[in-house]
Amino acid sequence: MPGTKLSIGIFRLLLQYIRWLPHRLGWVNHAAFILQLYEVRPTDIFLVSYPKSGNTWLRFIMAHMITGSTRQLSFEEVEKDVPDVYVSKDWIDEMPSPRFIKTHDALLSYFPKTIYIVRDYRDVLVSYYHYKIALKEFEGGFSSFIRSREITEPFGSWKEHVSKALQFSKDNSNRILFLRYEDMKINFEQTAYQLSAFTGLKKFKINRIKELTCFENLQQNETENGSEFRNRSGKNFFREGKCGTWKEFISTDDLKFIYADSELVSLLHQLNYQVEA
C-alpha cells in the first residue's frame, strides 16, 4: 500500500535523525547508520557490487546454498533469503541470523564479512545502458550515457567502488571473498567451492545449482513467471548474460573517452581485463 510505505519511509527518516548523535558518538554501527538498518550483526554477510555486475545471479546461487532447495526459486523467495537493502529493510531487521544482505553501496569496513563481485567495466556500462533505456530512465545514445555521471554513478564511480573493495581484500583477506563475474561463468564449480568455504554453507548440490541458476534458466523463469523489472519495462532483466559484448557495442571514440582515465585503465589491468593500446 503506497500510504503505508510512505509512513514507514517517514518513520525511518525520523529514526535516522534521532540516531545521528549516537552514531557520531560511535554507539551506532556506521554501516547500520548508512544503510538505515537497525543494527549490523557480527554474523552478517554483505553481497556487494556495482550495479549490473551479476549480483542477482549471485543472490540466486546463495539462496540455493542457504535453503538447499533443488527446485527453481522465485524472485520473491530470493528476496526473503538474500534481501536487498533498498527493498526489504523491515524484513532484514527481523530476519534470523546469519543474514545475507545485498547492497550496491560501496564496501564499508564495518561489514563483518563481504562477498564482492566485480565485472568488466565496459560490459557493466553496456548492461547499465540497456537497463536504463528499458526503464525509460534515460533517453539517448550510449555516448551521452557514459558522459552522464549523475545517471551512471548513483553509487559513486565504478573505479572508486572497485578499488575500495580490492584494497580491502589485500588488507583483510579473511573478511572478503572477491569474485569476478567472468570467472563465475568460466568455472562455476570453483566459485561455488569458494562461496562454501567462505560462508560455511555445505548442504547443497553444486550441479543442480549450476543448472538452476544458469542464464538460460533464470531468463526462462522470468519470462514465464514475470519480475518487477519485466512488469515495468516489458523486457527481461536477464538480458544477455555474456562477457565481452562491449567489443561490438562501444565505438572507438567512446573507448577513447573511457581510457582517458589512466587510473581506470590501470585498475582494469589489475583485474586482468585486457585493454588494447
Q: CB-wise, 63 or 218, nearer to ligand A3P?
A: 218
Residue 238 near ligand A3P by CB under 6 A: yes
**Residue type at position 164:** K
CB 55 to ligand A3P: min, Å: 3
Q: Which of 29, 35, 49, 222 binds ligand A3P (CB under 6 A)?
A: 49
**Residue 78 is placed in which grid cell?**
530470493
Q: Pick from 188, 187, 182: which is nearest to 122 by CA?
A: 182
Residue 56 near ligand A3P by CB under 6 A: yes
**Contact partners, residue 132, CB within 8 Å, separation at least 6:** 138, 145, 151
Q: Which of 34, 106, 151, 214 binds ligand A3P (CB under 6 A)?
A: 214
Q: Determine the length of the chain.
A: 277
Q: Where does this chain touch ligand A3P (CB under 6 A) — which range of 28-36, 48-56, 189-197, 255-263? A: 48-56
CB 5 to ligand A3P: min, Å: 23
d(CA 54, CA 59): 9
Long-range contacts of 24-33 (CB under 8 A, 24+ apart): 29/110, 30/108, 30/110, 31/108, 31/110, 31/111, 32/110
Residue 116 near ligand A3P by CB under 6 A: no
Beta strands in 45-120, from DSSP E residues, in sequence order: 45-49, 100-103, 113-118
CB 131 to ligand A3P: min, Å: 7
Residue 57 near ligand A3P by CB under 6 A: yes
Q: Where does this chain touch ligand A3P (CB under 6 A) — which range of 11-19, 62-70, 208-216, 225-233? A: 208-216
Q: CB-wise, 114 or 127, nearer to ligand A3P?
A: 127
